[in-house]
Amino acid sequence: MRFDVLTLFPEMFSGMFTTSILGKAQEKGIVSLNAINFREFSGNKHHTVDDYPYGGGGGMVLKAEPIFNAVEHVVAAARAEAGEREPRAPRVVLMCPQGETYTQRKAEEFAKEDHIILVCGHYEGYDERIREHLVTDEISIGDYVLTGGEIAACAIVDSVTRLLPGALGNELSSVTDSYSTGLLEHPHYTRPAEFRGWKVPDVLISGHHVNVDAWRREQSLYRTWRRRPDLLERAELNDKERKLIER
Ligand code: ADE
């Protein structure tokens, strides 16, 4: 899978893309992560990427041309890399607070793609023609405003890459983690069995796997009910569990 992040600050991604799971996933050839400065595609000699809004008002607007040029450049690069194989059209994702709220479900959808282009702005707005004629998705990572789309792009690259086969050392972990199961995760403990007088629940030390699984499931359910009852509607629960939470 290939990610191209279009940004004015590619240096923000250098540590992120080369460290830990993302760095290893690249080394293993599972994913290719690129940060591209779209100022290089401005199409004008002053390398301008923003301009005043038509109709007046404050703030600057990101111009259409640098983004269109940069997207066309990375599409051509991906095609050249694919050789004979005609690559599938990429998703072009705009980071913006007005977008669809990002969820694990969306991460799973993106993980099925071959190529995703993420567009990060730092301005009051984007020229509307970018939205109308180039972008396939608009994504917000939450109801707050960031100074730019870079942190949102990192969240997407990270959450999608960890879902790709082979990216995590332990294949089970992306299947059982919070949200993928529809429930929040149960509590975890490691040694020592007692720390400053606080004991690990006996059941976890009992060695009785059936009881451990039952305890974990119950804790997951309880934690989700307390913290995120909205998730329970879509979670896969058996009849007994449904009755329990509906009481
Ligand atoms: N750009 C600014 N704020 C954002 C947000 N919440 N999500 C995605 N992109 C953004």
Residue bearing the CA closest to ligand 1, atom 7: 140
Coil, helix or strand for 109?
helix
Which has more pLDDT, 181 or 191?
A: 191
Q: Which two tokens stand for residue 245?
A: 């939470």
Residue 123 pLDDT > 70? no
Q: Which two tokens stand for residue 137?
A: 């998705």
The predicted structure's pLDDT at residue 171:
57
Task: Out of 93, 95, 139, give the residue to mutate to test ligand 1, the one with the largest number of ligand atoms within 8 Å of its CB.
Answer: 95
User: What's the token pair of residue 121?
Assistant: 């702005």
Whether complex ipTM tops 0.90: yes
pLDDT of residue 180: 73
| Residue 18, both tokens | 């080369």
Higher pLDDT, 226 or 245: 226
Distance 148 CA to ligand 1 centre (A): 6
pLDDT above 60 (res 44): yes
| Residue 219 parent element (H or E) | helix 209-227
* Residue to probe by mutation, ligand 1, list 98, 141, 156, most atoms within 8 Å of CB: 141
Residue 173 pLDDT > 60, yes or no?
Answer: yes
Ligand 1 centroid to 152 CA: how many Å?
Answer: 6
Return the domain boundaries, the chain. 2-161, 181-246
Average pLDDT, the chain: 95
What would be the CATH architecture of the domain defined by 2-161?
A: 3-Layer(aba) Sandwich (3.40)
The helix/strand count (H/E) of the chain reads as 10, 10
Distance 6 CA to ligand 1 centre (A): 15
Task: Find out whether 23 and 52 touch, Cβ atoms under 8 Å.
Answer: no
Provide the annotated active-site residues: 97, 124, 162, 177
Instruction: Provide the pLDDT for residue 177.
Output: 72
Assign a CATH topology to domain 181-246.
Trp Operon Repressor; Chain A (1.10.1270)
C-alpha to C-alpha distance for 247 and 235, rounded to whole angstroms:
17
pLDDT at 172 over 60: no
Q: CA-CA distance, 60 to 134, in Å (whole number)?
A: 20
Cβ burial, residue 167 (10 Å; 0-12/13-18/19+)? buried
